[in-house]
Amino acid sequence: MTATESGRALPAEETADDIADDAAPAPAPPVYPLLELADGVPQVVTSGHALTQAITAFAAGTGPVAIDAERASGYRYGQRCYLVQLRRHGAGSALIDPLACPDLSALDAVLAEAEWVLHAANQDLACLAEIGLRPRLLFDTELAARLAGHERVGLATMVEKVLGCRLDKGSSSADWSQRPLTPVMLRYAALDVEPLVELRDHLEGELDEQGKLGWALEEFAAVAAAPPALARIEPWRRTSGLHRIRQPQQLAGVRAMWEMRDEMARRRDIAPGRILSDAAIVDAVLKAPATPEELATVPPFNGRSLRRQVALWHSALAEAAGLPAEALPHPHGTSDGGPPPAHRWAERDPVAAGRLARARVAVGAIAQRHTLPVENLVEPAVIRRVAWSPPPRLSADHVGEVMRDYGAREWQIGLTAAALAASLTEQ
């Protein structure tokens, strides 16, 4: 036995140095410097002349072009773009105001052959298309990070982890529809495109080293070629807290209030949630007030901003309450041709529920083996459709054809079709 100065007896294999190591505090996490702009904050493009100059500069630039867009979804109705940020080698950075320059098709033309680098491209492509910007060749750094096996893929996290710098995200929830935009907001916007090409190059190397670059290129091509998203059949069913609503008559009340709120928001160009929250809609329906006065006792309808509109909101509830049975919404929604919600399968078709469970296990194992998120390996909707209505012949080729019809990419089919076919076999 050995002894420490404190008199504690230690086993022969445990030394005082071991105790010191165990007691030592964990090392502090590294402190990364803030990312800085190489060229300073550019002037916002707000005129035709300035836009022409920017187009000329980007036409003369080389290599990929980093692009980002700022919306005001928490403040305004819809997903309109309120600022476009670009950066390219040889051109520097540009900030373009699409309120002053609503048609950027001329810029799109000079960038047609360039690779566009975006982070979480699906969030921005629709609003960019509205002002004439549509990538032909795309690299999505968020999607690339997911495929490379990174667990946290936000831009700030990836810049810190990969490039060793911190992004100032203080303006991430700002109202980008306001004018003028503050210097702090403009600096934030310019910083969002500053590191994108360098991040892209690093992630391309990771994917290539892991043998996943071909998969990523297929995914990027699919994102760039995807048609505009179809309007939802019953968008009011996305109301938060709708699971608390059980009866068709109550669902009609939610629908009526949601549609009234949506019309107000559209007319006033304001985010629907700033008029009335989803929680307030659900609470009002569950309270079932018989009169406007009763509704006025339900928060937030008893507040100053909504008190004057209580009669209007109550009229929506009253109209829904008077609907005949044939006009009431179905508890499980309108069919879009796909399978029912997965939680209903065991009741409606236990055999299909078994197929789905086995398919999920099979795909999950493949995703784990390749360090991929399951939803990026195969979209959950594809798995549900194949499990609900499998092809008559359960071979890898036939399952692959069905998956292809539902939009699965070739690399996804190659990795999963055989395992899915085996899991769909009756057991």
CATH class of 342-424: mainly alpha
Q: Does 140 or 25 have the greater pLDDT score? A: 140
- pLDDT value of residue 168: 85
In a 10 Å sphere around its CB, with 0-12 CB exposed, 13-18 middle and 19+ buried, how is residue 22 labelled?
A: exposed
Out of 7-16, 350-359, 369-378, 379-388, pick the least confident: 7-16
The region that residue 40 occupies, defined by phi over 0 for left and psi between -120 and 50 for alpha, beta otherwise, is: left
pTM: 0.88
pLDDT of residue 24: 62
Domain 235-327 is found in CATH 1.10.3720.10 = no
36-62, pLDDT tens digit by residue?
999 999 999 999 999 999 999 999 999
Query: Which ranges constitute the DSSP H helices of 291-379?
Result: 292-295, 304-307, 310-321, 345-348, 350-369, 374-377
pLDDT at 154: 96
Given a cut of 50, whether residue 95 has pLDDT beyond it is yes
- 138, β-bridge pairs: 116
- The residue-averaged pLDDT of 258-274 equals 97
The pLDDT of residue 32: 83
Q: Evaluate if residue 284 carries a pLDDT over 50.
A: yes
Fold identical between 44-225 and 342-424? no
Q: pLDDT tier at 9 (50, 70, 90 boundaries)?
A: very low
Domain coordinates of the chain in residue numbers? 44-225, 235-327, 342-424
Cα–chain center distance at 304: 35
pLDDT confidence bin for 337, thresholds 50/70/90: low
The domain covering 44-225 belongs, at the CATH homologous superfamily level, to: Ribonuclease H-like superfamily/Ribonuclease H (3.30.420.10)
Mean pLDDT throughout 12-39? Answer: 66
Asked if the model's pLDDT at residue 401 lies above 90, the reply is yes
φ, ψ dihedrals at 189, nearest 5° = -65, -45
In this predicted structure, the answer to whether residue 66 has a pLDDT above a threshold of 90 is yes
CA distances to 15, 24, 31, 156, 289 from 27, rounded to whole Å, are: 21, 9, 12, 22, 59
Q: How many whole angstroms separate alpha carbon 378 and alpha carbon 375?
A: 5
Q: Is the CA virtual torsion 237, 241, 247, 252 positive or negative? A: negative
Percent pLDDT > 90 in the chain is: 84
Taking alpha carbons only, the member of 206, 194, 170 closest to residue 42 is 194
The one-letter amino acid code at 67 reads I
